[in-house]
Amino acid sequence: MVINKILKVILVLLSVAYIIFRIQTKDFLGDIISTSLLVLLTGLYYFGKNEKQPLFLYFLIAFSLSDILNLSAYFFLDSIEYLDLTYYLGNSLCMLSYIFLIILCSKTMSFKKILKQFSVTILILTILGIFCVTLITETAQMSLTTPEYITEFLYNTIIMVLLSVALINYMDKEDNKAMLFFVGSMLLFFSEMVQLAYFYIKEMTHLVAIYSIFLVLAFGFFYHQSQLKHTSDIKLNRHELEF
């Protein structure tokens, strides 16, 4: 218990340090802190006393591996082949981590019920999602090769799917766990979009601050929701105990 509290304090301090290093454009130090944060968060979740959600653990592991891979690129800056590898494999691991979140969120949803209740909402989200992904990816088209464009398009699509699934899940469940997951997904989406603007449109310090803060908060909300259960699950467990 004491160790968990100490680890949480360390995570908060590292999060502040990460944001500061990003703002100061000390990317190498920022990436070291980022990787350390993810490894510690994964360890805190794995060794915590709460019931584990394997898919959430896979999300943390895949995202951590992506960060470790990106960090390793600093030692191979002269190798174009290795930098290409880190770009494609790193993005693939990130996409895989988000897919784990999508599966985690959707596996508790009743699709028949959702299609019946939110058919119009799903249609609107689909149209908006296609429009947003196309528009967002197009902003970086001039700076990307065809394989990079496809990678970015898939990446943005998966992020949009995650946000849409999280929103539908919250509308369906309307409990704290679903709300925290949706807020985390929304912050992650905004972080990714601001980061895209920073890399491909204009490098501005305030954009770094915004996407770094959003990313840290997103993981905070994701971790917090992982410690909760859906209200419907709690009621079901109580009913089983009473029975």
Kindly state the percentage of the chain with pLDDT values over 90.
Answer: 51
Nearest Cα to Cα of residue 83 among 73, 91, 71, 97? 73
Residues in the chain, overall count: 243
Dist CA 56 CA 45 (whole Å)? 9
The 10s digit of each residue's pLDDT in 146-191 is 888 899 999 999 999 999 999 999 998 888 999 999 999 999 999 9
Residue 2 vs residue 215, higher pLDDT = 215
pLDDT score of 236:
47
pLDDT of 123 > 50? The answer is yes
CB burial readout 143-161, b (16+ within 10 A) else e: eeeeebbebbbebbbbbbb
Within 8 A by CB and 6+ apart from 65, the residues are 93
CB 156 within 8 A of CB 188: no
Nearest Cα to Cα of residue 49 among 7, 17, 15? 7
Domain layout of the chain by residue ranges: 2-242
pLDDT score of 239:
44
The 10s digit of each residue's pLDDT in 221-240 is 999 999 888 776 555 455 44
| Mean pLDDT of the 30-35 span | 92
Predicted TM-score (pTM) of this structure: 0.90
Residue 232 vs residue 51, higher pLDDT = 51
pLDDT of 24 > 60? The answer is yes
Phi-psi region of 174 (alpha: psi -120 to 50; beta: other; left: phi over 0): left
Chain position carrying tokens 């990307």: 144
CB 105 within 8 A of CB 169: yes
pLDDT score of 188:
95
pLDDT of 86 > 70? The answer is yes
pLDDT of 68 > 50? The answer is yes
Residue 116 vs residue 238, higher pLDDT = 116
pLDDT of 138 > 90? The answer is no
